Amino acid sequence: MTTSTLGRVTDLGAEWARRAWPRLWPPLLVVAGVVAVFWKLVLTKQYTFVSSPDMANQVMPWLGAQVHAIRHWSILLWTPYEWFGQSLIGQVQPGVTSPFNYLLALAPLHDGQLQVFYVNLWFVLIHCVGGLFAYWLFVDLDCAVGPAVLGAIFYATGGFCGNTEWPQQLAPAIWAPLVFLFLLRSLRGRAPLRNAAWAGAALGASWLCGHHAMSLALTYAVAGVGAAAFIRRDTRRLAALRLAVLFGVMALVSAVQTLPASEYGKLAKRWTATGALTWKDRVEYPEHEDSGLRPTDLLHVVMPGGGGLRSDPFTGTVALSLAAIAVMSSFRRREVRMFLLLGVAALLYTLSHFDPLYGILYALGPMVEKSRAPIVALSVFQFAVASLAALGANALLSSGAAHCRAVSKAMLWFGGITFGLFTLMAYLKPAVASGILDGDPRPGMIGLVALLAAALYYAWFRGLLGRRCLFAFATLLIVIEQGNEVGWGWSHSRDTNHMATINALYDTRDLAAFLHARHDVKRLEINDKDVHFSFGDWYRLPAAHAMTASMLTATSELGGWWDDRLVHMYGMNYAVSRTPTRGGQQEAFTGKSGIKIWRTPDTFPHAWTVHQMFAAPNDIDGAERVRDARIDLRRTAVTLKTQPAVDQCGDDDLVSGFSENPSQVWAHVEMACKGMLVVSDNWYPGWRAEVDGQPAEIWKVDTVIRGVVVAAGKHTVVMRYRPLSVYFGFALTLLGLAAAVALHRRREADGADLFVDAPRE
């Protein structure tokens, strides 16, 4: 490259940077603010958020199994690592359809396993994406750059988003700003159908990202705002059209997750505080009451320490004061009233024990009963407060400045009383018992932040600060205040008690290495008193146990917690336990953790053949027959209602080869006469069989597992998991995205503004 060419390239690069920089630096500031709050996870390798039992025992193994599949160019729709095989995508919580899980697959692995530090970075990345979504919304609400950045940092780090440790609960929640960005455009009449479609696509993406409870709360928030458009009779048809497009696209985009979830839910049993529930059972209302806030918990909206609740409501004084400025100075603005009502409604929703309106939704609202956690509506409350905070910060530049003095006085009183009482209690501590001081000193810091915020507002009111200084200091106070709540309970790497759960994932690698080195087909019995995490998911070994909230109903009702007969039928030939789990087991290996591998003799092979059939009239009778010791399950298959025609012969069959991966099973058989090949993996819709390349019917055998009829001679039997619910759902998802793109490319004039006040009579 010549000097002149190099100079032109340099000039072009400099020109691009000069033009792009005004658009790049605000999002970069949002990311920097989020990183400042989450510095323990990003800037050090000393802390982690995944050391709690749920994170280490359930979430990390789920993520690890999915990442392994993605890195091998596959998607883990079916997991053989849990309960003899079950649908992973149908369980929803693992987030198989979440785009964020695919980003995690880019992280480096160590010995084939996820590294905690990169999981930490990925977790913070999700917060950064939420902050960017919020920034785009606030800019679209005509906020200046400073208020938009401030509000976005608060949204990504405060309240629900900042303090939930569950990635599959965080990821669905962060779509709220993007949903409302397009929803408000549509209601205002800005290319209404195009923006309604994109609002639906964003809402559908929320349903793809993990736990359904946050997406359900967001959907009800959208429905509530949309319903307000029906107040005006003259525009009711327009409102119906826009909402139909929104919810239609949402239903289509979310279908790849919701259809498998519906299929799995009808065949599975889940455990809640109410007990073991099937699809037809209702979660009893007392559980909803226990999963909501109490009025006394509202103290944690302004005071730290709410981490012991199922969802932390901490908002902080700075964001609340800015929200108050928005209400006082801009109440006539339609967005301010909407976000105020939305926040109040979401907060009332969380007070399920004290709010009869929630009881009506529980009784009549679709899916509310199954959500069972009203406290997750704090995600909507926090979004509303963040929006008001951004609007309030923006109002400081104009009409809100006049209200700075009143807010400054309120913050001065609050901060002075809080900090003063805290200081007094610290002074009197030798004489006065102070559990607060011994347990949590952060209220004093909250009082100090309130005093600093009061001084900041007063200085702005008096004209002593420029706008850049105002927003720089206000953002700094947001970071300090949220940083005193976010990460307060994260574990340090030297805290052996709290890190024991995450260390167990790596201290048992020698057990997995021994099992992987064995060339036989394995299925593990796990002693959950010794191994608390989902060992099968984490090490990708078929297992009879996992830390899940649900399992297939037929498997649960047949097995109990597995007698010797079912251990043999399911082929549980190894046990992971410190001591033998049943008689006759032989010690095969001892790990450095003291946990051993035990060989269980005489279990069935993973695939075998039978030539005798028994048709049970129903599932209950079939299960009794399977448990009946007089029936030799090695020779007889129990089917339901009907049975296939097979032959009996004197010669033995030969299963000469068997292999499997998560979504396929291969068996080579030589049949002396027509019989059935039985595979001890769970029966489930979506499994397809071929015998020598020709389709074959899969029979439900022994009420839980799979069988295929095979004629005499040598044959290759293949079973593949090809679920129609997933494929059809994926086609609908593509159709929904295509509809949004088509409406986006379609020329569309602006329409009627449905977001104006209804005329007074």
| Amino acid sitting at position 106 | L
CA–CA distance, 103 with 67 (Å, rounded to integer)? 9
Q: Is the separation of the CB atoms in 336 and 326 below 8 Å?
A: yes
Name the residue among 93, 90, 164, 80 with its Cα closest to residue 127.
164
Count the neighbouring beta carbons within 10 Å of the beta carbon of residue 417: 12
Helix (H, G, I), strand (E, B) or coil at 64: helix
In the DSSP assignment, the letter for residue 438 is H
pLDDT of residue 742: 92
pLDDT of residue 728: 95
CA–CA distance, 455 with 352 (Å, rounded to integer)? 38
Count the neighbouring beta carbons within 10 Å of the beta carbon of residue 409: 13
Count the neighbouring beta carbons within 10 Å of the beta carbon of residue 86: 24
Q: If you count them, how many residues does the chain have? A: 761
CA of 366: how far to CAs of 255, 293, 360, 370, 676, in Å? Answer: 17, 22, 11, 9, 44
Q: Is the separation of the CB atoms in 608 and 652 below 8 Å?
A: no
pLDDT of residue 148: 93
> What's the pLDDT band for 430 if we cut at 50, 70, 90?
low
pLDDT of residue 61: 92
pLDDT of residue 211: 87
* Stronger pLDDT, 439 or 622, i.e. the higher one: 622
Host H or E run for residue 363:
helix 356-364
pLDDT of residue 399: 66
> What's the pLDDT band for 408 if we cut at 50, 70, 90?
confident
Report the mean per-residue pLDDT for the chain. Answer: 86
What is the phi-psi region of residue 200: left when phi exceeds 0, alpha when psi lies from -120 to 50, beta otherwise?
alpha
pLDDT of residue 436: 45
CA–CA distance, 256 with 724 (Å, rounded to integer)? 10
Does 149 have pLDDT greater than 90?
yes
Average pLDDT over residues 584-588: 88
Does 1 have pLDDT greater than 60?
no
Q: Is the separation of the CB atoms in 188 and 755 below 8 Å?
A: yes
What 120-126 contacts at long range (C-beta under 8 Å, 24+ apart), as own/partner pairs, is 120/41, 120/42, 120/47, 120/48, 120/49, 120/50, 121/41, 121/42, 122/167, 123/41, 123/49, 123/167, 123/170, 124/34, 124/35, 124/38, 124/41, 124/42, 125/100, 126/100, 126/167, 126/170, 126/171, 126/174
Q: What percent of the chain has a predicted confidence (pLDDT) above 70? A: 92
Q: Where does 613-672 have alpha helices with state H?
A: 619-627
pLDDT of residue 87: 92
CA of 616: how far to CAs of 544, 574, 637, 705, in Å? Answer: 26, 31, 10, 15
In the DSSP assignment, the letter for residue 347 is H
Count the neighbouring beta carbons within 10 Å of the beta carbon of residue 224: 15
pLDDT of residue 434: 45
Q: What percent of the chain has a predicted confidence (pLDDT) above 90? A: 35
Residue 376: φ, ψ to 5°: -70, -15
Where is average pLDDT lowest: 92-101, 707-716, 749-758? 749-758
Q: Where does 141-254 have alpha helices with state H?
A: 145-157, 159-163, 167-173, 176-188, 192-208, 212-228, 236-253
pLDDT of residue 464: 82
- Calculate the CA dihedral of residues 102, 108, 110, 111 and round it to 10 degrees: 60
Does 439 have pLDDT greater than 70?
no
Report for 148-157, 276-285, 349-358: range of highest mean pLDDT: 148-157
> What's the pLDDT band for 757 if we cut at 50, 70, 90?
low
Does 224 have pLDDT greater than 50?
yes
> What's the pLDDT band for 424 if we cut at 50, 70, 90?
low
What is the phi-psi region of residue 345: left when phi exceeds 0, alpha when psi lies from -120 to 50, beta otherwise?
alpha
Mind listing the pLDDT tens digit for each residue in 506-527? 889 999 899 988 888 788 889 8
Does 189 have pLDDT greater than 90?
no
Q: Is the separation of the CB atoms in 524 and 588 below 8 Å?
A: no
In the DSSP assignment, the letter for residue 584 is T
Burial environment of residue 295 by CB neighbours within 10 A (0 to 12, 13 to 18, 19 or more)? exposed
Cα 73 to chain centroid distance, Å, stands at 22
Helix (H, G, I), strand (E, B) or coil at 271: strand
Mind listing the pLDDT tens digit for each residue in 156-187? 998 888 888 889 989 999 999 999 999 999 99
Host H or E run for residue 350:
helix 334-350
Name the residue among 512, 68, 42, 86 with its Cα closest to residue 60.
68
Name the residue among 539, 731, 706, 388 with its Cα closest to residue 82.
539
CA–CA distance, 485 with 641 (Å, rounded to integer)? 59
The encoded tokens of residue 539 equal 């090490």
pTM over 0.85: yes
Does 239 have pLDDT greater than 70?
yes
Residue 616 pairs in a beta bridge with 640
CA–CA distance, 406 with 396 (Å, rounded to integer)? 13
How far separated are the first and last CA of the chain, in Å rounded? 75
- Calculate the CA dihedral of residues 111, 114, 120, 122 and round it to 10 degrees: 120
CA–CA distance, 309 with 313 (Å, rounded to integer)? 9
pLDDT of residue 97: 92
Does 688 have pLDDT greater than 90?
yes
pLDDT of residue 153: 94
* Stronger pLDDT, 254 or 403, i.e. the higher one: 254
Does 437 have pLDDT greater than 50?
no
pLDDT of residue 560: 58
* Stronger pLDDT, 488 or 28, i.e. the higher one: 28
The encoded tokens of residue 737 equal 């995205």
Does 433 have pLDDT greater than 50?
no
Mind listing the pLDDT tens digit for each residue in 285-319? 888 888 888 888 888 888 877 666 667 788 888 99
Helix (H, G, I), strand (E, B) or coil at 311: coil
- Give Cβ neighbours of residue 11 (< 8 Å, ≥ 6 apart): none
Where is average pLDDT lowest: 106-110, 246-250, 738-742? 106-110
- Give Cβ neighbours of residue 2 (< 8 Å, ≥ 6 apart): none
pLDDT of residue 13: 57
> What's the pLDDT band for 717 if we cut at 50, 70, 90?
very high
CA of 411: how far to CAs of 101, 302, 405, in Å? Answer: 42, 12, 10
Mind listing the pLDDT tens digit for each residue in 453-476? 888 888 878 778 778 888 888 889
pLDDT of residue 492: 84
pLDDT of residue 96: 92
Name the residue among 280, 283, 267 with its Cα closest to residue 556.
267
